[in-house]
Amino acid sequence: MSETPTLFQRRIIIGAGLCIVAFALVGLRLVHVTLLQSLDGGHAAVAVVARADLTDRNGELLARDLPVKDLYARPRILWDKAEAARGLAVATGADERRLLNGFNNAKNPYVLVARQITPDAEARVMALGMPGLEFEQGAKRYYPDGRNTAQVLGVTDPDGGGVSGLELGLQDKLRKAPGGKVATSIDMRVQFIVADELAKSREKFRAVAAGAIVMDVTSGEVLAMVSLPDFDPNLRRMMPGDSQRNIMVQDVYELGSIFKVFTFAMGLEDRTFRPDDVLTIPKGFRIGKHEIGEAHHMPGSMAARDILAQSSNIGSSQIALRSGGHRQSQFLRSLGLLTPIVTDLPEKAYPLYPRHQWGAIETATVGFGHGISVSPLSFTAALATVVNGGRRIAPTFARQAPGADRRGEQVIRHETSVQMRELLRYVATNGTGRNADTPGYDVGGKTGTAEVPGPNGRYIRNALRSSFAAIFPAHNPRYAVLVLMDQPKATKDTFGFATAGYTAAPQTGRIIQRIAPLLGVPNIPLPTQLAGGPAL
């Protein structure tokens, strides 16, 4: 006969049963949290995909992932949803109305409060002492140089994916080397100088936009690329006047007279003229019903070298017509100017040129840089090809080995390339490019001033786009520089002129004067001259 359990024994049995139930509930919750949470609509853990650092060619840090946290809230556990929304908004900067709506209408058990919060914000959240909050590990891309490299580097999205610039263009490399480094061709010393000079000139001349490129003509490495207006990639939002658009690769322009470089290179290659040949320059040059004029007074006849140096539209048109439209289009295509340029940057622009009819008037106007629009990067690559011995060069934003020679097929004869160097040097010493000449650095180059097309197809009155294309040292070029200013305004210092010789040319000279010593370009002593005696 079994004994009836005592009161004490019954209490032990009940207590043991309650413990078993409690442990079972805890076990079930652990299974739910670890295995089944994503199935009930909760936020699934996001794996943090680390990206490699981006550095400049000398190892200076340009971009790095920093550890941050994303903050989530569980509305069902919050004591007071309105108070929670208000407190979290103050602590993190999140929108209070969005949080309250999310807490009151949450279909999922978790609501995102804020992403990539800073340690300070995390401390403020912890000080609230609020239940139902969870932090999730993440990463935020940081750019030490801020605006100075904004457009060329681009940005990433909150999940660490490249959105623009080299962050997108080098995406595969950056993800294949987590925790490592990917070196770019950018030289931050040069980048800073270019950005500094460009910003000062843009402010001085009240230009709508401005940009510049520095490229190695042998390796194709882009040492600097600046586009203004810019933006702060660390803010993750645009401020008034900011722009994410990289005008040096995403926009195309009628570049005006700097395009005469290609007209003269074509003529020399085709042997249709020699630099000393004298051409007649009529007051008006008619082609059918069209008449080509000059931007300023020209003499009745000029040597070919002076046509380039003084930037005669009529003289350049005559040289272009000697080769003809078919040959002109063929020559420009060989330089890569009639197709979008492909680089490590995902951004690109399609050139505009005569597609249905390339007759005499089109040949003449293209000959002096109108009726054709290309990106500044495409122009710089073509210029490098013309002066580097005549071999095609492809721009790159990846660091190359020292002394790398990436020149491709021969596009023009080496002899033509040497002649073009001499002509560009002549422009800087005896022509419209004098204000870019930098003593000791043997600068060569060409000015370009073009009218700005308007929305109705007509040119905007008194709106100019000025540019200067430079090479240095001219006798054996190592670097090409292009400076572009969109709609600069004249000042007293420029005697009321806003043309390239007074705006872009001196700016280019200042850039070269500052970057040449850093790039190891020797300063050639100028010849000394005794009073009444020859230069020594």
Following DSSP, what letter does each residue of 398-436 receive, concatenated?
Answer: B---TT-----SB-S-HHHHHHHHHHHHHHHHHSTTGGG
The two beta strands, 53-55 and 181-183, are parallel
- Burial of residue 237, with CB atoms counted within 10 A of its CB: 0-12 exposed, 13-18 middle, 19 or more buried: exposed
Considering 201, 257, 417, 467, which one is annotated as catalytic? 257
Whole-number Å distance between alpha carbons of 513 and 482: 14
Q: Contact, 224 vs 377, CB < 8 A?
A: no
d(CA 463, CA 460): 6
Which has the closest alpha carbon to 516: 471, 486, 475, 484?
Answer: 471
Active site residue 312: no
Q: Whose CA is closest to 224, among 337, 56, 400?
A: 56
Residue 535: strand, helix, or coil: strand
Burial level of 369, CB count in 10 A (0-12/13-18/19+)? Answer: buried
Distance, CA of 413 to chain centre: 32
Phi, psi of 469 (to 5 degrees): -105, 120
Residues 6 or more apart whose CB falls under 8 angstroms from that of 308 comprise: 260, 264, 316, 423, 426, 427, 431, 446
Collapsing DSSP to helix, strand or coil, 69 comes out as: strand
Peptide bond between residue 229 and the one before it cis (omega within 30 degrees of 0): yes
Distances in Å between the alpha carbon of 334 and those of 76, 271, 353? 67, 17, 15
CA gap 122, 69 in Å, rounded: 8
In a 3-state reduction of DSSP, which class is residue 215?
strand
Phi-psi region of 241 (alpha: psi -120 to 50; beta: other; left: phi over 0): left
Going by C-alpha positions, the residue among 143, 114, 121, 115 that lies closest to residue 234 is 143
| Helices vs strands, H then E, count in the chain | 17, 14
Give the separation between CA 102 and CA 339, rounded to whole angstroms: 50
For residue 439, cis peptide bond before it (omega within 30 degrees of 0): no
Q: What is the CA radius of gyration of the chain?
A: 32
Which H or E element spans position 24?
A: helix 7-31
Q: What is the set of active-site residues?
A: 257
